Amino acid sequence: MPQRQPTALTIAASDPDGCAGVAADLRTFYALGVHGAVCLTAATVQNTKKYTSAFAIPPATISAQLDAVLSDMRIDAVKIGLVVGEGNVKAIAGSLKNWKAKNVVLDPVMSEQPGGKKVADDNTVLAIKKYLVPLCTFVTPNMEEAQKLAGKADAKDAAKALLAMGAKNVVVTGIEKGGRISDFAIVSSKATNITKKKFSTSTHGGGCVFSSAIAAYLAKGRQPEYALALAENFISSSISSAHSPGKGIAAVEPLGSAEKRAVLAELADAVAKFEAHPKSFMLVPEISTNITYALPGARAPAEVAGVVGRIRHAGTEARSLGLIDFGASSHVARMLLMFSKKYPETRSAMNIAYSSDILSACRKLGLSVAVADRMMEPKTVAEKEGSSLGWLVDAVLASSKTKPDAIYFTGSVGKEPSMVLFGKAPGDVVRMALKIAASI
């Protein structure tokens, strides 16, 4: 029998231009490896230039849709978007309570882009506060929505008010101050201010994608604080991949650009091959392993894809969380970026354990291994977080007459000796790694 995918349910409206609503939710679920089920709340009339109206689905039909899905499928998370009318809010809340739905994420849509036309009347807002907020694992309003729900002008006060209404976790998004943008979150009782990159282009669908990403990660078993961190990374990547399908506002793209999708797919395939090998665990060091793959011409870790949470020991197996994303690696990404400055065709790197047996296997396979002596690095470099390995890679390449296949880093106080493999693509470095593992 095929392995079951995590499943998330979106309860939201249609968007005929495909930029937001259930279209954006389903693309987000698909991008994150989650099956998407749908309950349609309304049919909207809009395009990239103008929002016109929304025609609500009758409450009885909403209840029937939810009963049909929830009686048949195991729903691991629920995302709620646009709901039109007090009766529909009550219908959704009633079904979710009846079926004991878990991991409910509410994106309380009050107005629609483009144009910012109001779609939720006062009775709908009151019903959302009374019936939906208490059911939520996460509520993700933007600043305007938080003010309407909580009656508070300050993001922190609004978040606390929503928690008092019964929400377990709150993220107030899109707070603009002093030319910067941030999100304020209270997750697992811990308050955090998340500063974000401000994009110059206005986009549509960001709230849908962000809340759906949180729901998808919860569906995959991530804890709330981890789900939020991953979703923040995902929405930034999605906004950076925004495109213009029509003549108006741009659309956030959770599937990323074609180039990014190709990088993620190729890396995911290589990671799966590494994890499937019976001896791969022998190459995983105490600090764990990451496999990275950079976009052509990458200059920063955000342009390098890696394994979220790294690949770790799981008994006699090597296992990851199964998530691949840009910006997921720091150390290995920095080493790769330094290496690619001299050798631009090298776009992938992987750190593995070091031992005399591994070094011997590399030599038997004819690999060129350069040595980076940690004793060489100046004290000022060694003490600066994140700069040490990049400096060593630069120093090795400056003294090497030929391009190495791997660099071995000697150990020092508090630092484990390690080895990093370099190649044109992740398939190349994984094949190299598995040949080493087979030769040990």
pLDDT at 381 over 70: no
The per-residue DSSP string of 145-205 comes to: HHHHHH--SSHHHHHHHHHHTT-SEEEEEEEEETTEEEEEEEETTEEEEEEEPPPSS-EES
Give the range among 29-33, 198-202, 263-267, 294-298 with minimum mean pLDDT. Answer: 198-202
Helix and strand tally (H, E) in the chain?
14, 22
**pLDDT value at residue 412:** 60
Mean pLDDT over 72-79 rounds to 98
Residue 346 lies in a domain: yes
| Element housing 217 (H / E) | helix 206-219
pLDDT of residue 15 exceeding 90, the answer is: yes
Question: How do residues 243-276 score in pLDDT, each as one tens digit?
Answer: 899 999 999 988 877 788 789 889 999 999 999 9
CA distance 60 to 63: 5
Q: Is residue 2 part of a domain?
A: no
Q: Is 279 exposed, middle or buried (0-12, 13-18, 19+ CB in 10 A)?
A: middle
- Residues 266 and 252 reside in one and the same domain: no
Q: Are residues 432 and 328 in the same domain?
A: yes
Is pLDDT above 80 for 374?
no
Helical (H) or strand (E) element with 17: none
Give 385's DSSP letter.
Answer: T
Domain that residue 24 falls in: 7-256
CA dihedral (202, 204, 205, 210) in degrees, to 10, reads 10
What letters, b where the CB count within 10 A reaches 16 and e where it falls short, cover 59-83? beebbebbeebbeeeebbbbbbbbb
Residues above pLDDT 90, as percent of the chain: 71
Residues 231 and 279 in one domain: no
Residues 6+ apart with CB under 8 A from 64: none
pLDDT value of position 322: 78
pLDDT value at residue 256: 77
Pairing of strands 169-177, 418-423: unpaired
**pLDDT digits 0-9 by tens, 317-342:** 999 987 788 888 989 999 999 999 99
**In the chain, how many domains are there?**
2
Out of 224, 256, 288, a domain closes at: 256
Whether 275 and 311 have beta carbons less than 8 Å apart is answered as yes
Whether 252 contacts 204, CB under 8 Å? yes
165 and 16 both lie in a single domain: yes
Portion of the chain with pLDDT greater than 70, in percent? 93
Domain contains 19: yes
pLDDT at 33: 83
202, pLDDT greater than 90: no
Q: Which residues are CB-neighbours of 135 under 8 A, at least 6 positions away? A: 93, 96, 97, 101, 104, 166
Position 1 in a domain: no
Rounded CA separation 177/272 (Å)? 43
Q: Which strand (E) or helix (H) includes residue 91?
A: helix 86-98
Please classify residue 54 by burial: count the beta carbons closer than 10 Å to its beta carbon, then call 0-12 exposed, 13-18 middle and 19+ buried.
buried
Statement: residue 379 has pLDDT above 80:
no
In a shared domain, residues 16 and 127 = yes
Q: What is the CATH number of the domain that holds 315?
A: 3.40.225.10
Cis peptide bond N-terminal to 114, omega within 30: yes
C-alpha distances out from residue 125 to 59, 116, 161, 215, Å: 16, 16, 15, 22
pLDDT of residue 291: 98
The residue from 231, 256, 281 where one domain ends is 256
pTM for the whole thing? Answer: 0.70
Does the pLDDT at position 413 exceed 60?
A: no
Long-range CB contacts (within 8 A, 24+) of 65-71: 65/38, 65/39, 65/40, 66/11, 66/39, 66/91, 66/92, 66/95, 66/96, 66/99, 67/95, 67/99, 69/9, 69/37, 69/39, 70/9, 70/95, 70/99, 70/101, 71/99
Whether residue 308 is contained in a domain is answered as yes
Top pLDDT among 117 and 2 is at 117
209 and 312 in a single domain? The answer is no
Q: Are residues 245 and 319 in the same domain?
A: no
Answer yes or no: do 184 and 39 share one domain: yes
* H-assigned helices in 285-374: 331-342, 356-364
398 and 362 both lie in a single domain? yes
Residue 286, phi then psi, degrees to nearest 5: -60, -35
Domain closes at, from 256, 276, 308: 256
Q: Specify the CATH number for the domain of residue 121.
A: 3.40.1190.20
Alpha-carbon Rg for the chain, nearest whole angstrom, is 24
Integer CA distances (angstroms), 338 to 109, 247, 260, 335, 407, in order:
44, 41, 21, 5, 13
Q: What is the mean pLDDT of residues 395-406?
A: 92
What pLDDT score was predicted for residue 321?
81
Region of residue 189 (left: phi > 0; alpha: psi -120 to 50; beta: else): left
For residues 68 and 117, state if they share a domain: yes
218 and 278 co-located in one domain: no
Asked whether residue 312 falls in the same domain as residue 223, the answer is no
Q: Is the pLDDT of residue 281 over 90?
A: yes
